[in-house]
Amino acid sequence: MRNTALLMAGGRGTRLWPVSRREKPKQFAALASEKPMLVETYERITDLVGPEGVFVIAEKELVELANPLFREVPDGNFITEPSARNSGPAALLGTLVIGERYGDDAVVAMLPADHTIPDSAAFAGAAARAYDAAGEPGTVVTFGIEPTRGDINYGYIEAGEPVDGGEPPVYAVRSFTEKPDEQTAKLYVAAGNFYWNSGMFFWRADTFADAWCALRPEEKDTVDEIAANVRKGETPTAYDKLDAISVDYAIMERYDPIVMVKGAFRWDDVGTFESLERIRTCDPDGNVTDGEVYVVGSSGNIILARGGRPAVVVGSEGLVVIDTGDVVLVYPKGEGTRVRDAVEVIEKERPDLS
């Protein structure tokens, strides 16, 4: 049985525009620290699986961007998606490639590349537990993160009874809920047995392929065709026949049995610039700054000056100011999800800036 990791390097990250661009999206940006988040993801897992156990999947342009970052990873471990089809098809294709390389009992950790986890040791301990649990045929494992607030931007996992007495604890999963309303999210936090869905999953190669075909029987012939391409080392021409769907909707919300390892580590899904308040150090007035920034009589702002010029903010509170040189983005905190709407406008009017 071989433990592996599948780094999900695709995606646009439009809510973090203009730092996240089509040609260099957020997972390649240094937001949580001085390193790109994709590199941080690799460094968290490589001690457990070795460079030869790490696989990176994304569309062609992003695979070419990722390859120079990981010289110790074999070239054959970079998997090119024929097209961007969301996380479900990417996870399926990556798992089929890993299963062909290391066998049906290879355990795959599907790791999004846009998370920040400062405590690598705690993560490694939880990952070791997850690998062990996922080694059982037919079992899918996820991390549940203890919530600190009723955040409506995260999915939630309802934990059931403990299934293993070790540390960190492992629970049966009763249900998944994707992004509830604010009142429901607060009730979940108060209940004490709901956890944030980290979006990180562990499974045996055969478990995931079988689950896909069982839950999505209309795509079984397509999966078989893709698997045949993988065995022959060919481009999976049937890939575009798969629905563009997230792994949560495709499998996790309907699969059984799923167990949850309690993630006893700090975790954040860097989805909007407001996330930086939780993962970066603020000045005494609560400002998060990056680059040459000057604040006068201002508090609670997020200011990134990455355009090679100083940013000056005076008498302001609760603003997000992002300067990348060719674009300046300004909005009040709390409106970060609407940046995606702005990107839709930019793509029509100035596609060179998207």
User: For residue 225, what pLDDT is reported?
Assistant: 97
Structure tokens at 216: 């999505």
Choice between 324 and 264, residue whose per-residue pLDDT is larger: 324
| Domain containing residue 163: CATH number | 3.90.550.10
Q: Does residue 282 share a domain with residue 214? A: no
Q: Does residue 235 share a domain with residue 120? A: yes
Q: Is the pLDDT of residue 128 over 80?
A: yes
Last residue of a domain, one of 269, 291, 310: 269
- Mean pLDDT for 200-225 is 97
Distance CA 353, CA 15 (A): 14
Inter-residue contact 320 to 330 (CB < 8 Å): yes
Q: Does residue 282 share a domain with residue 265? A: no
Distance CA 197, CA 95 (A): 21
Q: Is the pLDDT of residue 264 over 90?
A: no
Q: Is the pLDDT of residue 162 over 90?
A: yes
Q: Does residue 302 share a domain with residue 235? A: no
Q: Does residue 283 share a domain with residue 256? A: no
Last residue of a domain, one of 219, 251, 269: 269
Dihedral sign, Cα of residue 344, residue 25, residue 265, residue 170: positive
- Mean pLDDT for 269-276 is 94
Inter-residue contact 195 to 133 (CB < 8 Å): no
Sequence letter at residue 84: A
Tell me, rounded to whole angstroms, the distance of Cα 238 from its chain centroid: 25
Q: Is the pLDDT of residue 65 over 80?
A: yes
Q: Is the pLDDT of residue 132 over 90?
A: yes
Q: Does residue 180 share a domain with residue 281? A: no
User: For residue 44, what pLDDT is reported?
Assistant: 95
Distance CA 325, CA 229 (A): 44
Last residue of a domain, one of 230, 245, 269: 269
At residue 284, the 3 state secondary structure works out as: coil
Percentage above 70 pLDDT, the chain = 100
Number of independent structural domains in the chain = 2
Query: What is this structure's pTM?
Result: 0.94
Q: Does residue 264 share a domain with residue 232? A: yes
User: For residue 178, what pLDDT is reported?
Assistant: 87
Q: Could you list the residue range(s) of the whole structural domain that residue 294 is in?
A: 273-353
